[in-house]
Amino acid sequence: MQSSPTAGGHAPPLPGTGVRISLAELIDIRHRVREVPLFSTPHRRSPLVGLHHSKLRGRGVDFDQVRIYQAGDDVRTIDWRVTARTQEPHTKLFHEERERPIYILVEQSPRLFFGSGRAFKSVLAAQAASLVGWAALSHNDRVGGLVFGHGEHHEVKPRRSKQSLLQLLDRLARANAGLNADQNDDPDTFGLALRRAREVLRPGSLAIVVCDERALGDAAEQQLTLLARHVDLLLVPVFDPLDHALPAAGLLRFAQFGARLELDSHDAVIRQAYRLQGEARTARWRRLADRLRLPLMPLDTQRDLVDQLREHLSVQHPGAHR
């Protein structure tokens, strides 16, 4: 189900809104990076700065240099001796902070090939991954990631290189182009992607997980819990309003792989059961984020990506400062 965006005074839609998104459109998203303070800047402090500059765990750090304190620096790294001597705040820099890998796990599976608003969930997930990638590259971080879905995993190792990001976006566009409604969902694909991330990511990395809201099962939750012990995580589940509530639209017919199903959406009991399932999925993500003290940024296909990220970043998240 796909409808056109409503007219009005909203922000212009990101390129590629709709059913598919191309590599050119993913590249073009770089022009909107400045609209979202995903990482700290000299004049603004992002709630994600705690993730981005968190103290590395399970590994020693190599001191690099001391420089004048800038807005967004971790106060725990202030060099008090130099500060007292110069009467101006100075902070210590470490190699790992300057070379922190940002690893984007982004899903492109058949369950995302659906949308009732501005874009399919698969397109919104691709846009979010691209925007994060360009923001990380502009922040001089190493960028890589893993595109997963439909039994396939395409990995790009983090490098401080535009070519590395373009390689990841190319994999993402190809996976998006290959999606169709007749493909089988692989229930293990999310768990496999998370296990791979645990194998390749070193302590202190930042992993950004962009996936279908419905991907969070028992196995995936366990893998996310294990991954959170070694790296910092940002959770970005993607959903469509029709994942949460059925309209009272009469008899609805569904067909897939030769099987057919009919639902009477005028039946209040059916609509309530459907709504409760959606609420349970949302609540499960929130409980996981609260338990692990992780930022949670759900994305809705009905709304502009940049507007939603701005709102999330204006709210302090439980895992934003550690």
Chain mean position to CA 78:
31
- pLDDT tens-digit map of 26-51: 999 999 999 988 875 443 444 454 45
Task: Answer yes or no: is pLDDT of 305 > 80.
Answer: yes
Pairing of strands 259-264, 299-300: unpaired
Q: What percent of the chain has pLDDT over 90?
A: 52
Position 92 scores a pLDDT of: 79
If one compares 165 and 316, the residue with the highest pLDDT of the two is: 165
Average model confidence (pLDDT) across the chain: 82
Asked if 173 and 24 count as a contact pair (C-beta separation under 8 A), the reply is: no
Q: Cα(194)–Cα(117) distance, rounded to whole angstroms?
A: 29
Query: Max CA-CA distance within the chain?
Result: 76
Length of the chain: 322
Position 9 scores a pLDDT of: 36
Least confident of 66-75, 269-278, 289-298: 66-75
Cross-strand bridge partners of residue 63 = 94
Element (H, E) at 284: helix 268-292
Q: Cα(213)–Cα(3) distance, rounded to whole angstroms?
A: 21
Mean pLDDT of all residues in 251-259: 69
| CA nearest to 152, candidates 119, 180, 193 | 193
Position 263 scores a pLDDT of: 79
If one compares 165 and 11, the residue with the highest pLDDT of the two is: 165
Amino acid at 203: P
**Where does 75-212 show beta strands of DSSP type E?**
90-94, 101-107, 142-149, 152-159, 206-212
Task: Answer yes or no: is pLDDT of 1 > 70.
Answer: no
Mean pLDDT of all residues in 219-232: 94
Q: Cα(176)–Cα(198) distance, rounded to whole angstroms?
A: 25
Position 11 scores a pLDDT of: 46
- pLDDT tens-digit map of 193-222: 999 999 999 888 999 999 999 999 999 999
SS3 108: coil
Q: Cα(200)–Cα(6) distance, rounded to whole angstroms?
A: 43
- pLDDT tens-digit map of 47-76: 454 454 433 233 334 555 678 887 767 778
Amino acid at 5: P
